[in-house]
Amino acid sequence: RFGQLSSGSDMAPDWTMKEVSTGTTIMAVEYDGGVVIGADSRTTTGAYIANRVTDKLTPIHDRIFCCRSGSAADTQAIADVVTYQLGFHSIELDEAPLVQTAANLFKASCYRYREELMAGIIVAGWDKRRGGQVYTVPVGGMLVRQPVSVGGSGSTYIYGYMDSNYKPNMTKDQCLRLVSGALSLAMERDGSSGGVVRLAAISETGVDRQVILGNQLPKWSTA
Amino acid sequence: MDSQIKGVSTGTTILAVTFNGGVIIGSDSRASIGGNYVSSKTINKLIQVHDRIFCCIAGSLADAQAVTKAAKFQISFHSIQMESPPLVKAAASVLKELCYNNKEELQAGFITAGWDRKKGPQVYTVALGGMLLSQPFTIGGSGSTYIYGYADAKYKPDMSREECLQFATNALALAMGRDNVSGGVAHLVVITEEGVEHVVIPGDKLPKFHDE
């Protein structure tokens, strides 16, 4: 099918009437002692790249981050709500919140408002009780913990790569290589993913962020 | 999209990879109706169109069977006229003509792979609308989206036969593990100057990955 050759007015370009979306590739991996999370940096309105250096790795608390995919507005709004709720809860509790708590707060919002929202979120972080954890809250509002999770439009292309390259009990550096390799493969194939690779490693000692620029990404033998 | 085909369709995973001295063409074996019912667990999607040329089908099974039957006839006729084995490119072109000229009615895509004396091992893909493209390797079908990353990362030119067999088997197993309309057994055909070898790997003998 060729689909629609044009939609809406021919006078205005399509990015004036398309919603801003983080069609994207996001990923998170647990290792012994923490988690590694990563994302591409492209935000699109239709065919136009509204932001080519987006930061899709959003802090929710000191040692808890979320990776956002789907509607940029929806995911920002949800993340703001959860940041507030988690911060309040942490003050009441007088200790650092659990990653599972943050994940459940995301799930609560994403499930209750599932008809209005378009948001796929991966929640990852470190806490004292269970160490590094990754929880995925895809569109619809399900919640499940996984040792490794990928999300966003580009994720379909890297399921095979991830299944074959992930092994349990990897080190932090192996995880960083797995995530940056997988993200660069997805960015090559998915039109809605691209730009730079943003990585973060979260552990007991804190959060270590890095950026890998386009020309420094791993290269593969065929384009 | 494969899932919008009415009737029996091969929501599927197919691939073809060249290696040093030959080419491997492979597929899963599941045929489904609408993605809800598996109408065949053991269908063979690798069709031999000539001695050293195979093609594999994705999309509507009915369309694919009709097109390959017509193509097989045209290719053997051409081969008799030329008094020599057909070129892989010729076989791919025959499929392309059929797909392009009937593009409104058809919903099938093909991968053609084989060996000929002029250019050795080759892989051609004929997409839905009738585009013909030559590539060192190619993947297709609904399950292929899940293995683009794996294939891009793991393919290297001039592999040995064993490396290529491992690559193709792993790729099929990974795709079958994630795509619910691909499954069953893995069919692989190794085509070289010497001949053609059919390898079948049942589902329980396929490579397993970390969460299985």
The answer to whether A35 and A206 have CB atoms below 8 angstroms apart is: no
Residue B73 touches partner A, C-beta closer than 8 Å: no
Q: What is the pLDDT of residues A53-72, one digit of tens each?
A: 999 999 999 999 999 999 99
Sign of CA dihedral B74, B75, B78, B79: negative
> By CB neighbour count within 10 A (0-12 exposed, 13-18 middle, 19+ buried), where does B194 fall?
exposed
Pinpoint the alpha helices (H) of chain B. Answer: 61-82, 88-101, 148-154, 161-178
Total tally of structural domains belonging to chain A: 1
pLDDT at A10: 63
Rounded to whole angstroms, the Cα distance separating A102 from A60 reads: 8
- The least confident of B53-57, B106-110, B133-137, B183-187 is B106-110
Which domains, and CATH codes, for chain B? 18-38+46-205 (3.60.20.10)
Buried b / exposed e across A123-137, counting CB within 10 Å, b at 16+?
Answer: bbbbbeeebbbbbbb
Q: Is residue A110 part of a domain?
A: yes
**CB-based contact B149 A164, cutoff 8 Å:** no
pLDDT at B177: 93
Q: Using alpha carbons, list the distances in angstroms from residue B162 to A180, B19, B24, B63.
A: 29, 9, 11, 34
Question: Taking Cα atoms as reference points, which of A173, A30, A183 lies closest to residue B211?
Answer: A30
Q: Is residue A207 part of a domain?
A: yes
Mean pLDDT of chain B: 90
Q: What is the pLDDT of residues B140-176, one digit of tens each?
A: 988 999 999 999 999 999 999 999 999 999 999 999 9
Q: Is residue A167 part of a domain?
A: yes
ipTM over 0.90: no
Domain of residue A57, residue span? 26-212
The answer to whether A123 and A60 have CB atoms below 8 angstroms apart is: yes
Q: What is the pLDDT of residues A3-55, one digit of tens each?
A: 444 455 566 777 676 777 768 999 999 999 999 999 999 999 888 899 999 99
Question: Taking Cα atoms as reference points, which of A149, A156, A210 lies closest to residue A185?
Answer: A156
Q: What is the pLDDT of residues B171-210, one digit of tens each?
A: 999 999 999 888 899 999 999 999 999 999 998 899 998 8
Q: How many angstroms away from the CA of A157 is the closest CA of chain B?
A: 5
pLDDT at A1: 35
Question: Taking Cα atoms as reference points, which of A59, A211, A37 lies closest to residue A132?
Answer: A37
Rounded to whole angstroms, the Cα distance separating A98 from A107 reads: 14
Buried b / exposed e across A75-112, counting CB within 10 Å, b at 16+?
Answer: beebbeebbebbeeebeeeeebbbbbbbbebbbbbbee
The CATH code of the domain that includes A206 is 3.60.20.10
Predicted model pTM: 0.85
> Is B12 among the catalytic positions?
yes
Q: Is residue A143 part of a domain?
A: yes
**CB-based contact B149 A168, cutoff 8 Å:** no
pLDDT of A148 strictly over 60? yes
H or E element in which residue A76 lies:
helix A72-93
B129: nearest CA in chain A?
A1
**CB-based contact A185 B148, cutoff 8 Å:** yes
The answer to whether A23 and A192 have CB atoms below 8 angstroms apart is: yes
pLDDT of B10 strictly over 70? no
Q: What is the pLDDT of residues B20-71, one digit of tens each?
A: 999 999 999 988 877 788 888 888 889 999 999 999 988 888 888 899 999 9
Q: Is residue A16 part of a domain?
A: no
**Bigger pLDDT: B108 vs B47:** B47
The answer to whether A74 and A54 have CB atoms below 8 angstroms apart is: no
- The least confident of A117-126, A209-218, B32-41 is B32-41
Q: Is residue A1 part of a domain?
A: no
Rounded to whole angstroms, the Cα distance separating B82 from B64 reads: 26
pLDDT at B1: 41
pLDDT of B2 strictly over 60? no
Q: Is residue A124 part of a domain?
A: yes
Sign of CA dihedral B120, B126, B127, B130: positive
pLDDT at B62: 85
pLDDT at A2: 42
pLDDT at A15: 67
Q: Is residue A152 part of a domain?
A: yes
Tokens of B205: 């003998």
**CB-based contact A157 B177, cutoff 8 Å:** no
Tokens of A161: 């790569």
pLDDT of B8 strictly over 70? no
State phi, psi for A101 to the nearest 5 degrees: -65, -50
pLDDT at B159: 95
Question: Which of B145, B152, B175 comes nearest A220 by C-beta?
Answer: B152
Sign of CA dihedral B161, B163, B165, B171: negative
